[in-house]
Structure 1
Amino acid sequence: MKLTKKRIVLFLLFIFPLICFLILSTGKNNFTKLPIVTENILDASTIDANTTFKENITIVCFIGNNIENSKGGFFNLNEKVYKKFIEYKKFQIIAIYPEGMEDDAKRLKKEIGAFTDMVKWKFISGSNQAISNLYKSFNTNDSLSNMYSSKAFLVDKNGNLRGRIADEDYKDGMLYGYNMQSVSELNAKLKDDVKVLYYEYYAAFKDKNKNKADRKEVGL
């Protein structure tokens, strides 16, 4: 068959995309899973009995003692990430602040909520010791300063800290948390990594149901 310009165009427009779709739809785990950078961190329930990481995809941030000076990053997190996933099931942002900062935390929540449905934002308070213990369990290469971190942390439904192990912008390639002061990092990294984590669970759920259907078919 002679390859004409018309046939090439038709191939590129219709056949090639179909081939790509078939490869992707029939393949198994054709994506990179988001690395676990720290296993089995302390649960949020160690700070607030009514709050947990379990069975949720959680972004954790530490507000600190000087909320007014650090609030810009939380507005970035809200605009660039939270609003993108507000409709997703089992998604939450947990903002942790020290006891005694209740008025400042309420003010920050009110300011963020001026144009946002805050239903999946959770503000919880704890003692300095409880907050420090939770943060230390992340086993990052940074420390809290006045109970504050400029990073947002991604925790999976099993209580593992997720991140990157070969990130060119971080020392030794280890990305434990995402810089809330950097709009580009929230956009290009955190937002994408939350999507990868959701797809990871979707793929696992799909495989589980397929295996059940296969066992049923053979009478197991």
Structure 2
Amino acid sequence: MKKNSVLFVLFVLPIVAYLFFASGVNSFITLPTITPTIPEVNPQWKSLNGEKVTLNQKITILGFTGEDIFVNRGNFFNLNQKIYTKYNEFKDFQFVFIAPDGTQEQAKRILKELSPLSNLKGYHFLFAPANEIQAYYNDLKLLGKLDSKMGTPNVFIVDKKRNLRGRKGKSVQGKPEYKEGFNTTSAAELHNDMMDDVKIILAEYRLALKRNNANRQI
């Protein structure tokens, strides 16, 4: 019993405290689920380098680029600087962008511009027909819609069990709050809201890892 108490103090309490203080503007200790168990990405969709891309057992920032990838390159820069550079060393953290067929060269240009700034091993582009992108997006059951070019400036947090996570409930001010995605055109939103929520997701998994390690020692 005493050993269990020591393990709790050493491993669990620090993570709980981190979760509390990391929550910042978010009133949730754990991040609510917006859509449970979204579909896996289609294995027939091609990536740039032929690598296999999966959402399973990954913490994923999921985006839908639309046809104007390079025109919207500022959004990628915002996301890279505010989110990716902060958390890319977490081994199960990745970016997955679903893009229309025919935009491969634009994606390559984006990666070329970002490569001096970051190690891009966690970036993945998947290319699919427009109708399949729309069908997949519909399965996410979100309020926001794709535009006519199969894109949205919003990106979404997906956990290791493929649950799409966000904000649902009341804010710290007690007002109703709902946020299913984060607008990459706004560096402030990425810094103030998304960074906060990614911290919570990562802290959840650190807590689970600490708990599992502690259980093995009992």
TM norm. shorter chain > 0.5 = yes
After TM superposition, list the pairs within 5 Å mapping 1:113-128 onto structure 2: 113-128=115-130
User: Structure 1 pair 167/95, CA: closer, same or farther in 2 (3 Å)?
Assistant: farther
**What is the CA-CA distance between 1:88 and the residue it aligns to?**
1.1
Higher relative contact order (CA 8 A, sep 6+): 2
Work out whether residues 88 and 122 of structure 2, in 8 Å CA contact, stay in contact via their aligned partners in 1: yes
| TM-score calculated relative to the size of structure 2 | 0.79
After TM superposition, list the pairs within 5 Å mapping 1:54-203 onto structure 2: 54-145=56-147, 146-166=149-169, 173-203=177-207
* RMSD of equivalent CA atoms: 2.5
| TM-score calculated relative to the size of structure 1 | 0.78
Q: Which letter maps to 2:154?
A: K
Deviation digits for residues 63-106 of structure 1, max 9, x if unmatched? 11122332211110011110111211111101121001111121
**SS in structure 2 of the partner of residue 150 of structure 1:** strand
Q: Percent identity?
A: 32
CA distance in 1 between partners of 2:54 and 2:34 (Å): 19
Deviation digits for residues 99-124 of structure 1, max 9, x if unmatched? 01111121122122232221111111
Max Rg structure: 1
**SS in structure 1 of the partner of residue 63 of structure 2:** strand
- Equivalent residues, number: 192
**SS in structure 2 of the partner of residue 58 of structure 1:** strand
Q: Which letter maps to 2:67?
A: N
**SS in structure 2 of the partner of residue 66 of structure 1:** coil
Deviation digits for residues 116-137 of structure 1, max 9, x if unmatched? 2211111111111221122112
Q: Between Structure 1 and Structure 2, which shows a larger proportion of helix residues? A: 1
Aligned equivalent of 1:41: 38
Q: Between Structure 1 and Structure 2, which shows a larger proportion of strand residues? A: 2
Deviation digits for residues 42-67 of structure 1, max 9, x if unmatched? 11245537211111111011111122
Work out whether residues 43 and 134 of structure 1, in 8 Å CA contact, stay in contact via their aligned partners in 2: no
CA distance in 2 between partners of 1:123 and 1:82 (Å): 15
Work out whether residues 47 and 131 of structure 1, in 8 Å CA contact, stay in contact via their aligned partners in 2: no
Aligned equivalent of 2:6: none
Work out whether residues 39 and 162 of structure 2, in 8 Å CA contact, stay in contact via their aligned partners in 1: yes
Moved over 6 A (4+): none
CA distance in 2 between partners of 1:156 and 1:115 (Å): 26
Aligned equivalent of 1:12: none
After TM superposition, list the pairs within 5 Å mapping 1:16-27 onto structure 2: 26=13
